[in-house]
Amino acid sequence: MKNKVISKSSYKHWLSSIVCLGVLALVSQNAAAGDMSVGAMASQITSSFTNLTKLITAGSYLAGLAFSIGAIMKFKQHKDNPTQIPIGTPIALVFISAALLFLPSILGITGTTMFGSSGGETAGPTGTVYTSG
């Protein structure tokens, strides 16, 4: 009985290993075919950061709206049954929603304060190159 259990589990292990290797072989061809330099990879990664900031901003706005709707519903529940829902719950939800709604503008102001109006530009690869000769 014990041998049958071991053989079934090892069969599943081998099958999952083969499937993972097959998927890796299919994906690695596309990755190896791209003739990208380190600079091209770095620029592609940094260009994706703008989409990430847009996602965080949109998520912050949506979560802030959801928390404000939840706060309104909790205020209604507190009005209907004050002993069941304490007043601190909807007040906390209001503060959380306000923080989430103002988060993108606060981050923009903080970025301007820390990095100036240039938007945080950094120095490029310039300088003196020493060659033998």
Quote the CA–CA distance of 13 and 11 in Å, as a whole number.
5
Scan for tokens 């049958």, then name that residue: 4
3-state helix, strand, coil in the chain (%, to 5): 75, 0, 25
| Neighbouring C-alpha atoms within 13 Å toward the C-beta of 103 | 20
Q: Tell which wins on pLDDT, 84 or 40.
A: 84
Categorize the per-residue pLDDT at 116 as very low, low, confident or very high, splitting at 50, 70 and 90.
Answer: confident
State the total domains in the chain. 1
Categorize the per-residue pLDDT at 114 as very low, low, confident or very high, splitting at 50, 70 and 90.
Answer: confident
Residue 75: partners with Cβ closer than 8 Å, 6 or more residues away: 90
Q: For residue 4, is pLDDT > 70?
A: no
Decide if 85 is inside a domain.
Answer: yes
Decide if 18 is inside a domain.
Answer: no
- Domain span including residue 79: 57-115
- Mean pLDDT calculated for residue range 92-114: 89
Decide if 90 is inside a domain.
Answer: yes
pLDDT at res. 22? 81
Quote the CA–CA distance of 89 and 87 in Å, as a whole number.
6
pLDDT at res. 70? 96
Decide if 124 is inside a domain.
Answer: no
Q: Angle formed by the axes of helices 88-115 and 38-80, to 10°?
A: 150
- Mean pLDDT calculated for residue range 35-48: 72
Decide if 111 is inside a domain.
Answer: yes
Quote the CA–CA distance of 72 and 87 in Å, as a whole number.
12
Decide if 65 is inside a domain.
Answer: yes
Q: pTM of the entire structure?
A: 0.57
Q: For residue 31, is pLDDT > 80?
A: no
Decide if 2 is inside a domain.
Answer: no
